[in-house]
Amino acid sequence: MTILGRFIPTILRSWIRHQVMRGDAVHCPVCDKGAIAYLPSGSPPRPHVLCPFCGSRERARMAWLFLEERKVLRTGLRVLHVAPEQCLREKLTVLPGVKYTAGDKFTPGYSYPRGTIDLDITAMPFANDSFDLILCSHVLEHVPDDRRAMSELHRVLAPGGMAILMVPIALDRATTDEDPSVTDPQERIRRFGQFDHVRLYGRDYVGRLKSAGFEVVEDAMTDRMSPAEVFRYGLLRSEVVHAGLKPVTVPR
Ligand SMILES: [Zn+2]
């Protein structure tokens, strides 16, 4: 296929999508565009999930709202983006003066955007205090040694920095359900919610983050919003933002 042959349909598809989908029933906070609806996605498909323009999902939209509300997005940020969501990558890489690093644990059979490095978050090749902002959402539930990962994330976060560490969490559970002997995909789906999850976190998740050294912010953002706002931003009421802070220590 020629370059033009590849290029024109892409532009046309995008143009048609914009013409068909633009509206004001919902408003994506990531790409700041209004649409007639969020598109269904998932397996089985759930309604009201995908932004038709930037491809954001509920948790990316919530994380972005949180970062904007807390005024985290300043000039010259050093950002580590683990398992990067494309919609957030596009926003972060254009911040003025940003130093952006994207990493993912490479798995055979999958491809990764150019510039992404193969990253094991339990042993990262970065100096202490390297990043002002870390985004690592919906990752820790896949990592067998999550305590070591949390400790590494804390080590590479600079004092005064913030790590967004959202995970699926069962708020009706006091303690995390985990059992390394469960490797059968069907049993993992039943107990942990997905075939490649190694645990289902409970309310003790905050304690685990604190044990790694973080000061923890737990923000059920949708509790502060009207039902109309939750719908418009396309958020999940079951989703809570967990952010780990590394306070600046003042020498005595
Ligand atoms: Zn969007």
Whole-number Å distance, alpha carbon 57 to ligand 1 midpoint, is 8
Nearest alpha-carbon partner for 166 in 217, 131, 126, 112: 217
Residue 235 CA to residue 58 CA, distance in Å, equals 5
Whole-number Å distance, alpha carbon 178 to ligand 1 midpoint, is 35
pLDDT digits (tens, 9 = 90+) for 188-239: 999 998 888 999 999 999 999 999 999 999 999 999 999 999 999 999 999 9
Whole-number Å distance, alpha carbon 58 to ligand 1 midpoint, is 10
Whole-number Å distance, alpha carbon 87 to ligand 1 midpoint, is 7
C-alpha to C-alpha distances, 168 to 102, 147, 201, nearest whole angstrom: 22, 16, 7
Whole-number Å distance, alpha carbon 239 to ligand 1 midpoint, is 18
Whole-number Å distance, alpha carbon 189 to ligand 1 midpoint, is 29
Whole-number Å distance, alpha carbon 61 to ligand 1 midpoint, is 8
Whole-number Å distance, alpha carbon 90 to ligand 1 midpoint, is 11
Whole-number Å distance, alpha carbon 1 to ligand 1 midpoint, is 30
pLDDT digits (tens, 9 = 90+) for 237-247: 999 999 999 99
Per-chain mean pLDDT for the chain:
94
pLDDT digits (tens, 9 = 90+) for 90-132: 999 999 999 999 999 999 999 999 999 999 999 999 999 999 9
Helix (H, G, I), strand (E, B) or coil at 241: strand
Whole-number Å distance, alpha carbon 199 to ligand 1 midpoint, is 30
Q: Which CATH class is domain 57-245?
A: alpha beta
Return the domain boundaries, the chain: 57-245
Q: Mean pLDDT, to the nearest integer, of 9-21?
A: 80
Whole-number Å distance, alpha carbon 22 to ligand 1 midpoint, is 11
pTM: 0.91
Residue 251: DSSP 8-state: P
Q: Mean pLDDT, to the nearest integer, of 64-82?
A: 97
Whole-number Å distance, alpha carbon 34 to ligand 1 midpoint, is 8
Examine the pLDDT at 165 and tell me if it is beyond 90.
Answer: yes
E strands, 1-153, in order: 22-28, 33-35, 39-41, 46-50, 78-82, 99-104, 116-118, 131-135
pLDDT digits (tens, 9 = 90+) for 134-144: 999 999 999 99
Cis peptide before 29 (omega within 30 of 0): no
Neighbours of 175 (CB within 10 A): 12
Neighbours of 140 (CB within 10 A): 26
Residue 40: DSSP 8-state: E
Whole-number Å distance, alpha carbon 195 to ligand 1 midpoint, is 28
- Which pair of structure tokens corresponds to residue 167? 């995970």
